[in-house]
Structure 1
Amino acid sequence: MSDIIVCQGLTKQYGIRKVVDNLDLKVPENIVFGFLGPNGAGKSTTMKLLTGQIKPTAGHAQVAGADVTRNSLQARQHIGYLSEMPNFYSWMKGQELLEFAGELFGLNPPTRRARAKELLQLVGLADAGGRKVGAYSGGMRQRLGIAQALVNRPKVVFLDEPVSALDPLGRRDVLTLLDNIRHEATVFMSSHVLADVDRVCEQVSILDRGRVIAAGPTVELKERFALPAINLEVEGDPAALERLSAALRAESWLKRVTPGEPGRLHLELTSAAQAQEAGQRVPRLVSELGLSMRSFQSAVPNLEDVFLQVVNRDERGNAEPTRPEVRV
């Protein structure tokens, strides 16, 4: 599998502050790639660099074989982009808006009409192409935005927070769409909705303070960084449940105790080596407090577990070095 995005030493500095700091990155083609990080990590700035909207202070990047840092006009022929808060002409119909986008890319009238119809079908808006965009729901507008990002048949489409403002139904529809369009273009998406990234992204990079602090296939990152955990469910007197939580928080082999629904606790262990001790100690505590244990199961790690672990490591100054080159 060849790489469709290649960054080397990419840096963006404003004054003395490095927003993107010596970034090396490679992204394979035809995948959905997640670009994660806390607020202010440099995600949006990196996407602007990769789409040729701003120039780097140092380093360079190639997208679909074109050097976006030296010849952004050539690179943009292969790029589609949807910003976090897209603004559309509300008086335009969906079909008209896509044809207008096609005109901006130099498509002739028959070609842009056909492409608009094709894209409306792709994003599930074939029956809404004749309606004004101002009457679209949030999810419909987002799918229309993805359609306009695909008008020029890009090899890479960059999506900045494509689902963050949507309700669960709208998010589901957009995520399904992203999973489908990977066959047409590589999808590079930033998002803080980690469950959604976990669902559709095969590979991710986590950025913090302008540096990549973790990168790789999502499955491998979970195995590497997520702490072992247990989902515990008990029943009994509420006061005893509170005492159980307090007792567990005092145990040195537990890193974190997170309450869920009544009677449910999520226990994060300090290491996999503590699993045996947990298996002995937790049932004993439950019994001593007069509670009944309904379930005691190992938890499946998720991307949020990875994110919290690696960002906290970085804040403590224990993140793994980002050089040499981070390859995903």
Structure 2
Amino acid sequence: MSADVPSPHTTAALDTTATGASRAGGPGRLGVHTVSRIGYGAMQLPRLREDRGTAVALLRRAVELGVDHVDTAQFYGDGLVNDLIREALRPEDGVLVVSKVGADPDSGGPHPLRAAQRPEQLRASVEDNLRSLGVDQVPVVNLRRMDTGPGLRAEGDQVVDLDDQLAVMTAMRDEGKIGAIGLSSVTPDTLRQALPAGIVCVQNAYSLVARDDEEMLALCAAEGIAWVPYFPLGSAFPGFPKATDEPAVRAAAESLGCTPAQVGLAWLLRHAPNVLLIPGTAGLEHLEANIASGGITLDDATLAALDAVPSRPVDVPLG
């Protein structure tokens, strides 16, 4: 058999996680790693701050359902989320934990986060992630820039040249503290500038009803870079469109016997092969529904109706 053609044994291994569960949404690529195309974004776990057992059980259930890609950050709950992940996940689960740097908690400020873009702050944040996760290396670390999208914009001494940031990120990769580098909240020009550093994923706000980043998605596909959209269904931010409010989405959900949220996630998986999803929730029912969206088939007519939905402008005040 040609070395270019996976054997049946290899294909079976790609379809299942280290625990033997079928990969949620099927297998996808994130750098050198094969992961479930439906992962879990842990940003909402601080809602369970007073119910640690439920938070740990939610993470364990995600693993049982075939999730082996978890997205986190030290600034989620000021270390709480990383601590929960450390308690809930075991090495034998084979879960790829992806974190991010570029912001710090700011509980006393006007916003929950403040920019932390300087090279020494990026290094300190990686060290904080290593300690709170209890690992020697974070497999993938996203550099959260503030070039685009909702939320913070860097000001003053937080306006840092990308090359200076990538220099410290690649140094930490060379030191073995991080395995690979991703980007978040960036423009296509920023990504092109960063390509020589070896970028494995990009996280930008993107959904069926907010598709301004189609150029970026195509660039990522051409470069073999995973596209990991945050706010994959929209957001509770005022002025941010929601996929679940779109009539075509609701009609598709009624026809298919599923929820509008599941249609929005299924469309993303169908839209491009390099899409990896990290929907977040603090509820078990929503977790199970999100993962079940990987089994929804969109026929050609439904897909055409969803593709025809216009992209809505995002009118969210900047932090």
Kindly name which structure, 1 or 2, has the bigger radius of gyration based on alpha carbons.
Answer: 1
The answer, yes or no, to whether TM exceeds 0.5 is no
TM-score (norm: length of structure 2): 0.32
Name the structure where strand makes up a greater proportion of residues. Answer: 1
Name the structure where helix makes up a greater proportion of residues. Answer: 2
